[in-house]
Each structure stands twice: as structure tokens, then as C-alpha cells.
């Protein structure tokens, strides 16, 4: 078999069954191989940022890697922003990048560029395959690398650079891929933390990563009930299982000053599946760390089972405290982000996957949906906007039987809007709500803070922040996705119900006044 087939067959051995592609000429042998490898579903994306974000969403929900196929350096460039989010989420992901033939590389042809330097900025592992004979083993190593924990994160981006002659040359061999092994934890370290918890006041347990699902949440709740420890969740979990029947914890606030206030008084910070909290941005005269001075940090590690073992040590026989089902009443009148959150909380279907890139419009969502039926909530992990629509696309591929609700800000929606085309082509059950406030509202307060403008400068400042004139109904129709506009709460309620009742993608352009954001 040729190198391309050796790679694809090895991925199949490793359980990879999806490839989000945006290929070019140098990837045609991989595409030809994919066409005749029915075990891998090739899904065409019209922009590489859609492909990489979809692979991130798929990996978060499927718990195994998806693959991508990108066209050389510029194609990788277009995919970097969402690979950055995948890196911060710890999503396992096989990122395949085609390149010129090995012998063509020295000629510096127009599309040539330094792929490895680019890939290194987002990848846990980067390799360029040198010959078709190595292709299978390199693919197997990529799968292993993608599943290898990186610090507190469960996996990472493994970038495999595949020159075209490696793909078209015979001599490839498909290679078996060993099953992933769950990392173990250090029992003695956990016992030491149990002692800290028992013996000290001012303990705060900060949970994140894999502990944001049922088992971890239950353990944290038991620990809190037995010891009185203050429990907080990280700011942006990659995947948060929540709703009625699960314990509920607040998340660390995004605005730096609020986060500092929330952590004030902690003398022992116990990290469970997350890293030391830092301010998202720097601000003049304010420290970057959020940890109070003198607070001791204890790291439980990210290995599955560590938090449960801690619960068994300090809270044997204690049951977790779970949220009852409760939903907000349906509001009425002119639509606002706050009222939209109530409607979403009132209607959220059981088993929904919510992808949240609502930015300034999202502040009412956590409490409005806290008592909705069980659902998953996926967040923007690396701060790079344009993740919502692609992640929703990949989550829908991973979970064909679950409804996906994508809550988008208008500014963020415009980065990777091409996702809608893939949602339509693949018939994915994604409902996108665009909070259309016609501005980069999150930058509004920031700009006001640093500039006090008068006269003509006021107009100039608005022209760098406002984004009027976006008609998301027309944009969605342009990609064959049915869409409606809601200006009142009643319209929004009716449209959200209709979208939920019908399979396939829908978009609601929710016209709301801007909310002045934190930063």
C-alpha cells in the first residue's frame, strides 16, 4: 500500500473514524485513500479553522481524537487559532498537514513555508514523515502522542506533516496502535492533601478538566459536605457536565478584580485537574496571579480517580448534594441577553450539548440553565474567538443523537461562519443562537477605560468597535441553513422551540441591546 493508505489504516487501528478536511493538490492521495476507506468519515469544511475547531469539539465529546487534513503551511495557519483552543482544552487531536514532495522542498515553490515552526506553537508533538515505510509508525506515534497527558491536560495536538511523495509512494505498512492507558495518581500525595483538608481552615478546592463531569463533581460535593471546604470550578472548562441531578459549583469569574475577591481569604488552594489561576489579561498596576499572598498551593493532579480517592478519605459515607430540576419562567417583551438566557433555561432539551461563545451576552446563562435537565457545556478554553460554530459542528458529529445548542456572539460568529455549510451538508442537529448586538461589546468598556474621547474622536472610536449591518438570517440562508430573526422574547421562544422540534441545523438571529462587558 502507499504511504497515504498506511497512515489512514493505522488511524483506523487507533479508533480514529472521522477526518475534518480542507485539502489541496498535495493531499490528493490522502483524499483518494479516504474515499476508499469507509471506516473513516471524511467531512469537508470550507475553511481550515472550521476543520480544526470541529476536531476539537469532536474530541471533547467523543473522548477520542478526530483527525484533520490541511493543505500545507497557509492551510495550517488558517487552522491555528482553533488548534490553540484545542491545546488549552487538552483535546486529543491528530492534525495532518500535507506538504510538497521531499525532493520538491528545496526549490522553495510559492506555497512552501516553515510548517514545523508554525505547528510547534500549538502542538504537543510534531513530526515530518520521511518515507512511505515510516508513515504507518509515524501515524501510530501521533495517536499515542495525542492521548498523552500534557501537565494537567489529558491530551494534545499531534501534528503529522505528510509530504506528497511519502503519500503516493508504495512501501507503506499499517501499524497496530496500543490502547490508551489511563494515568495513575500518587496515593500518598492525595493522603497528604486529605490531612491538609482535615487540619486547616481557609481551604479552597479548585476543580477542572476531567473533574467537571459526574464522578468528579460528586466527589467534590462529598468533600465539601464533609469538610466544609469552599469549592470553585475553573473559569473555562473544556467540557462541563451539569444540570438537574448533578452538584453545582460556581466558576471562577472572568473579570480579574472579581476573581481576586472570590479567592481572597484562601490559605490552602487545592488544585484538582486544573492549573494555578491567573488573570486572563494584564492590567496596569495589578498582579497577574489570582492566588492570595501567603496561600499554599497543593496539586492533586489530573489523573482520573484522585479526587474520588480524596472523597473516600475525607467523606466516607457522605452523599453529594445535587441540584433539583428547576427552570426559569418564560419572560416576555423586547428581547435582551438576560431574557434570552431565561428562555434557554426554560427550554433546554435533555442531553443537550451547549457550546458557549456568547461573550458579554453569557453572564445570565449559568444560573438560568443550572436546573435544566442534564447537559454538557463546552467553553472557550484558549480565549481565541471563532471556536463556537466549529466546536458545535464537531460535537454534533460526535453525538448524532444529542441536540447541540451553539450560543454565539455576533463578532465571534464572523470568524468561522463557514461552519454552517458543513452543518447543512452533513445534516447536523445544531441550533445556533447569535446574540446580535452589533458591536464588539467586550472591547467597548476597555476602550472607554483607556480613552476619553470628544468630538470627532467619538465617531472614530465607534467605527473601530461597532459592527452594524450583519444580517445573520441572510448569511445562514447563503449556506442553506434555515434561519429566523427574533426581536421579542415571544419570537425567540417560538423559534427556539421550532428549531428543537426539527432535526438539522437552524440559526436564530437574536437581536439584543449590547451588554457592557468586563474586558
CB of 317 to a second copy, least distance (A): 38
Single out the residue of 39, 108, 191, 325 in contact with a second copy (rule: CB under 8 A): 108
- Using CB under 8 A as the binding rule, whether residue 453 contacts a second copy is answered as yes
Instruction: Specify the stretch interacting with a second copy by CB under 8 A; choose among 238-246, 298-306, 349-357, 471-479.
Output: 471-479
What's the rounded Cα separation, in Å, for the pair 507 and 431? 6
Instruction: Specify the stretch interacting with a second copy by CB under 8 A; choose among 192-200, 218-226, 305-313, 452-460.
Output: 452-460
- Specify the residue for cell string 487540619: 199
Nearest to 499 by CA among 508, 490, 511, 489: 508
Instruction: Specify the stretch interacting with a second copy by CB under 8 A; choose among 60-68, 83-91, 364-372, 492-500.
Output: 83-91
What's the rounded Cα separation, in Å, for the pair 302 and 377? 20
- Using CB under 8 A as the binding rule, whether residue 467 contacts a second copy is answered as yes
- Specify the residue for cell string 452589533: 438
- Using CB under 8 A as the binding rule, whether residue 498 contacts a second copy is answered as no
Helix 337-347 and helix 489-501, axial crossing angle in degrees, nearest 10: 40
What is the dihedral sign for C-alpha 205, 209, 212, 213? negative
Instruction: Specify the stretch interacting with a second copy by CB under 8 A; choose among 266-274, 413-421, 484-492, 495-503.
Output: 413-421
Site for a second copy in 380-409 (CB under 8 A): 381-384, 386
Single out the residue of 61, 118, 212, 486 in contact with a second copy (rule: CB under 8 A): 118
Binding mask of the shown chain, residues 153 to 192, with x at each position contacting a second copy by CB under 8 A: -----------xx--x------------------------
CB of 314 to a second copy, least distance (A): 31
121 C-beta neighbours (distance < 10 Å), count: 11
- Using CB under 8 A as the binding rule, whether residue 293 contacts a second copy is answered as no
Contact between residue 89 and residue 381 where contact means Cβ atoms under 8 Å apart: yes
- Using CB under 8 A as the binding rule, whether residue 460 contacts a second copy is answered as yes
Transcribe 49-100 into DSSP letters: HHHHHHHHHHHHHHSS-EEEEEEHHHHHHHHHHHHHHHHHHT--EEEEEEE-
3-state secondary structure of 474: helix
CB of 371 to a second copy, least distance (A): 29
Instruction: Specify the stretch interacting with a second copy by CB under 8 A; choose among 77-85, 314-322, 351-359, 485-493.
Output: 77-85
- Specify the residue for cell string 430573526: 485
Binding mask of the shown chain, residues 201 to 240, with x at each position contacting a second copy by CB under 8 A: -----------------------------------x----
Site for a second copy in 2-21 (CB under 8 A): 21
Go through the chain and tell me how many residues it has: 519
Single out the residue of 68, 132, 279, 360 in contact with a second copy (rule: CB under 8 A): 279
- Using CB under 8 A as the binding rule, whether residue 196 contacts a second copy is answered as no
Single out the residue of 7, 11, 13, 29 in contact with a second copy (rule: CB under 8 A): 29
- Using CB under 8 A as the binding rule, whether residue 47 contacts a second copy is answered as yes
- Using CB under 8 A as the binding rule, whether residue 317 contacts a second copy is answered as no
CB of 498 to a second copy, least distance (A): 20
Q: Specify the residue, 43 or 193, whose C-beta has the smaller distance to a second copy.
A: 43
- Using CB under 8 A as the binding rule, whether residue 270 contacts a second copy is answered as no
What's the rounded Cα separation, in Å, for the pair 501 and 348? 12
- Using CB under 8 A as the binding rule, whether residue 53 contacts a second copy is answered as no
- Using CB under 8 A as the binding rule, whether residue 80 contacts a second copy is answered as yes
Instruction: Specify the stretch interacting with a second copy by CB under 8 A; choose among 37-45, 57-65, 206-214, 493-501.
Output: 37-45
Segment (H or E) for 44: strand 41-44
- Using CB under 8 A as the binding rule, whether residue 284 contacts a second copy is answered as yes
477 C-beta neighbours (distance < 10 Å), count: 14
Instruction: Compute how many residues bind a second copy; rule: CB under 8 A.
Output: 98
3-state secondary structure of 209: helix
Instruction: Burial-class residue 333 by CB neighbours within 10 Å (0-12, 13-18, 19+).
Output: exposed
Nearest to 234 by CA among 220, 218, 216, 252: 252
Segment (H or E) for 397: helix 388-398
Q: Specify the residue, 124 or 197, whose C-beta has the smaller distance to a second copy.
A: 124
Strands (E), 310-428: 353-357, 375-378, 404-409
* Alpha helices per DSSP H over 97-213: 115-120, 132-146, 164-168, 187-199
Q: Specify the residue, 479 or 511, whose C-beta has the smaller distance to a second copy.
A: 479
CB of 208 to a second copy, least distance (A): 12
Instruction: Specify the stretch interacting with a second copy by CB under 8 A; choose among 245-253, 278-286, 346-354, 357-365.
Output: 278-286
Q: Specify the residue, 32 or 322, whose C-beta has the smaller distance to a second copy.
A: 32
Q: Cβ contacts of residue 58 below 8 Å, gap of 6+?
A: 18, 20, 66, 394, 395, 397, 398
How is residue 150 annotated by DSSP? B
- Specify the residue for cell string 473516600: 312
- Using CB under 8 A as the binding rule, whether residue 74 contacts a second copy is answered as yes
What's the rounded Cα separation, in Å, for the pair 328 and 348? 11
CB of 303 to a second copy, least distance (A): 21
What's the rounded Cα separation, in Å, for the pair 106 and 59? 36
Instruction: Specify the stretch interacting with a second copy by CB under 8 A; choose among 23-31, 184-192, 327-335, 370-378.
Output: 23-31
What's the rounded Cα separation, in Å, for the pair 453 and 451? 6
Single out the residue of 226, 461, 491, 494 in contact with a second copy (rule: CB under 8 A): 461
184: phi then psi, degrees, rounded to nearest 5: -100, 170
CB of 502 to a second copy, least distance (A): 18
Amino acid at each position: 500500500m502507499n504511504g497515504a493508505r498506511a497512515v489512514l489504516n493505522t488511524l483506523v487501528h487507533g479508533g480514529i473514524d472521522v477526518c475534518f478536511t480542507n485539502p489541496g493538490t498535495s493531499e490528493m492521495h490522502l483524499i483518494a485513500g479516504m474515499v476508499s476507506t469507509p471506516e473513516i468519515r471524511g467531512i469537508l469544511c470550507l475553511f481550515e479553522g472550521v476543520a480544526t475547531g470541529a476536531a476539537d469539539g469532536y474530541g471533547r465529546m467523543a473522548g477520542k481524537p478526530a483527525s484533520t487534513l490541511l493543505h500545507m503551511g497557509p492551510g495550517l495557519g488558517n487552522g491555528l487559532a482553533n488548534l490553540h483552543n484545542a491545546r488549552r482544552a487538552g483535546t486529543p487531536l491528530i492534525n495532518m498537514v500535507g506538504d510538497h514532495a521531499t525532493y520538491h522542498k528545496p526549490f522553495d515553490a510559492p506555497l512552501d513555508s516553515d510548517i514545523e515552526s508554525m505547528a510547534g506553537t500549538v502542538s504537543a508533538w510534531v513530526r515530518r514523515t520521511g518515507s512511505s515505510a515510516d508513515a504507518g509508525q509515524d501515524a501510530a506515534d501521533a495517536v499515542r502522542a495525542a492521548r498523552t497527558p500534557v501537565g494537567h491536560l489529558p491530551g494534545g495536538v499531534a501534528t503529522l506533516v505528510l509530504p506528497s511523495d511519502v503519500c503516493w509512494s508504495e512501501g507503506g505498512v499499517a501499524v497496530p496502535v496500543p490502547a490508551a492507558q489511563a494515568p495513575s495518581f500518587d496515593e500518598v500525595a492525595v493522603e497528604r492533601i486529605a490531612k491538609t483538608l482535615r487540619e486547616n481552615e481557609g481551604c479552597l478546592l479548585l476543580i477542572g478538566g476531567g473533574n467537571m463531569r459526574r464522578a468528579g463533581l460528586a466527589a467534590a460535593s462529598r468533600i465539601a459536605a464533609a469538610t466544609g471546604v469552599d469549592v470553585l470550578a475553573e473559569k473555562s472548562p473544556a467540557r462541563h457536565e451539569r444540570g438537574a441531578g448533578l452538584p453545582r459549583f460556581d466558576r471562577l469569574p472572568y473579570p480579574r478584580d472579581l476573581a481576586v475577591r472570590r479567592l481572597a481569604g484562601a490559605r490552602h488552594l487545592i488544585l484538582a485537574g486544573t492549573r494555578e489561576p491567573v488573570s486572563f489579561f494584564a492590567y496596569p498596576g495589578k498582579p497577574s496571579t489570582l492566588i492570595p499572598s501567603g496561600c499554599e498551593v497543593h496539586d492533586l493532579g489530573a489523573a482520573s480517580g484522585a479526587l474520588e480517592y480524596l472523597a473516600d478519605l475525607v467523606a466516607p459515607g457522605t452523599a453529594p448534594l445535587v441540584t433539583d430540576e428547576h427552570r426559569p419562567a418564560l419572560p416576555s417583551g423586547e428581547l435582551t441577553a438576560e431574557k434570552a438566557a431565561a428562555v434557554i433555561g426554560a427550554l433546554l432539551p435533555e442531553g443537550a450539548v451547549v457550546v458557549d461563545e456568547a461573550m458579554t451576552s453569557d453572564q445570565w446563562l449559568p444560573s438560568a440553565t443550572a436546573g435544566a435537565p442534564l447537559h454538557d457545556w463546552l467553553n472557550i478554553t484558549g480565549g481565541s474567538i471563532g471556536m463556537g460554530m466549529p466546536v458545535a459542528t464537531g460535537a454534533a458529529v460526535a453525538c448524532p443523537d444529542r441536540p447541540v445548542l451553539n450560543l454565539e456572539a455576533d463578532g465571534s460568529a464572523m470568524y468561522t461562519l463557514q461552519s454552517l455549510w458543513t452543518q447543512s451538508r452533513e445534516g447536523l442537529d445544531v441550533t445556533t443562537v447569535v446574540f446580535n448586538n452589533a458591536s464588539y461589546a467586550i472591547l467597548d468598556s476597555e476602550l472607554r477605560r483607556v480613552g476619553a474621547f470628544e468630538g470627532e474622536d467619538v465617531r472614530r472610536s465607534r467605527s473601530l468597535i461597532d459592527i452594524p449591518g450583519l444580517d445573520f438570517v441572510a448569511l445562514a440562508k447563503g449556506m442553506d441553513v434555515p434561519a429566523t430573526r427574533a426581536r421579542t422574547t415571544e419570537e425567540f421562544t417560538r423559534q427556539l422551540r421550532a428549531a428543537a422540534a426539527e432535526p438539522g441545523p437552524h440559526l436564530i438571529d437574536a437581536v439584543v441591546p449590547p451588554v457592557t462587558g468586563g474586558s
